[in-house]
A and B are shown apart, each in its own frame.
Chain A
């Protein structure tokens, strides 16, 4: 079973920041936090990952709390094309990824 808890759905206005929360209170010290998304029925797409520190790339920022029990994915300027299901996943290096239900983000004009 997935080790993460995410809200099933969220709305965001186009151009605004989308902040997607994730709880992973049972995360262990060597487990990473990964974020993937799935647009319609396409294959999941990697967004970002982190271990302890906050991370930023061209797609998003990942904020991990100091106790690592929760994290937030930030899409700084959401567009309509960011409408998707966003999955927060925790796992060891080398292990397979277990997908949960994710958060269905709807970006509205």
Chain B
């Protein structure tokens, strides 16, 4: 069964460092998402991406965050200068291209980011 692949599975970084989390969405999917989950808290939406641009973003997704689809397969989340509160699990998700119909997302296993 097709799956969303995320790397790294766990990254430890120092506060203030830049971090890039990588995702390979399912190959024929056209909508891409990043969510995060701070330990013990809810899964929170960060950003959605379609047709090489951000389609929706949350208040969490401030200027420290950026997303990119540098090639035909990868979808990346960059945190420019990490803060302690960025420590969380980050989940990438994707879905097929139809605009109408249900919003069925396939999530990756997540990347755990620990900021020291």
Stretch at the interface among B12-20, B68-76, B77-85, B99-107: B99-107
Write the chain A residue with the least CB distance to B44.
A99
Residue from the list B93, B102, B110 in contact with A93, Cβ < 8 A: B102
Question: How far is it, in angstroms, between the C-alpha of A34 and the C-alpha of B106 when the chains are bound?
Answer: 13
Please tell me if the beta carbons of A49 and B91 are within 8 angstroms of each other in the complex.
no
Q: Would you call the interface of chain A mostly helix, strand, loop, or mixed?
A: loop
- List B contacts of A98 (CB < 8 A): 45
Interface size on A, residues (CB 8 A): 23
- List B contacts of A38 (CB < 8 A): 43
CB neighbors of B among A18-66 (8 A): 32, 34, 38, 41-46, 49, 51
Q: Is A17 interfacial (CB-CB < 8 Å)?
A: no
Q: A38-B43, A99-B42, A100-B42 are in contact. Are A46 and B99 (CB under 8 A)?
A: no
- List A contacts of B33 (CB < 8 A): 96
CB neighbors of A among B34-85 (8 A): 35, 37, 42-45, 48, 56
CB distance from B77 to the nearest CB of A (A): 14
Residue from the list B45, B99, B110 in contact with A43, Cβ < 8 A: B110
Q: Is A80 interfacial (CB-CB < 8 Å)?
A: no
Q: Is B109 interfacial (CB-CB < 8 Å)?
A: yes
Write the chain A residue with the least CB distance to B58.
A96
Q: Is A97 interfacial (CB-CB < 8 Å)?
A: yes
Please tell me if the beta carbons of B100 and A43 are within 8 angstroms of each other in the complex.
no
Instruction: Give me the 9 closest cross-chain CB pairs, A-B, nearest first.
Output: A43-B107, A99-B43, A96-B45, A44-B107, A43-B91, A49-B102, A32-B102, A43-B109, A43-B110
- Where the two chains meet, the residues of B that have a C-beta atom closer than 8 Å to any C-beta of A are 4, 33, 35, 37, 42-45, 48, 56, 89, 91, 93, 99-110, 112
